[in-house]
Amino acid sequence: MLDSIVVILLSLGVVFFMGTVNGLLRFPDFYTRMHAAGKGDTLSSILILLGLALFTFHHPSVAAYLTGFKIIFIAVLVFIASPTATHALMDAGYEAGIEPWAGESDDNGEECR
């Protein structure tokens, strides 16, 4: 039972991280890349960390519970710190004057960034 929950959580984390990397490689703009990187990175990190914390609870003892709660504390830290870092990077890009992505293509059919 516990193993199946761990497998589901780790698989979901890897799938969300694949989506994050895909968005980071294929989106056309800095802001859209930031969108993919911020959201997917936070969610996949929290899912994988919760899965590993549940796997730590497999052999019940006081030290194992302490380790599991430390991993959950790292998940809480990622949940607070990663959106903050995303916002700081986004604000830095906006202040540096990066132009947002305007449209799909121009009249010549070429992609313009």
Q: Map the footprint of other proteins across residues 13-72, applying CB under 8 A.
A: 13-14, 17-18, 20-21, 24-25, 30, 33-34, 37, 41, 45, 48-49, 52, 55-56, 63, 66-67, 70-71
| One-letter identity of residue 97 | G
Task: Determine the Cα–Cα distance for residues 71 and 66; give it in Å rounded to an integer.
Answer: 9
1 touches other proteins by CB under 8 A: no
Angle, helices 2-26/30-56, rounded to nearest 10 degrees: 170
Residue identified by tokens 């009249």 is 107
Q: Tell me if 82 sits within 8 A of 42, measured CB to CB.
A: yes
Residue numbers at the binding site for other proteins (CB under 8 A):
3, 6-7, 10, 13-14, 17-18, 20-21, 24-25, 30, 33-34, 37, 41, 45, 48-49, 52, 55-56, 63, 66-67, 70-71, 73-74, 77-78, 81-82, 84-85, 88-89, 91-93, 95-99, 102-103, 106, 108, 110, 112-113
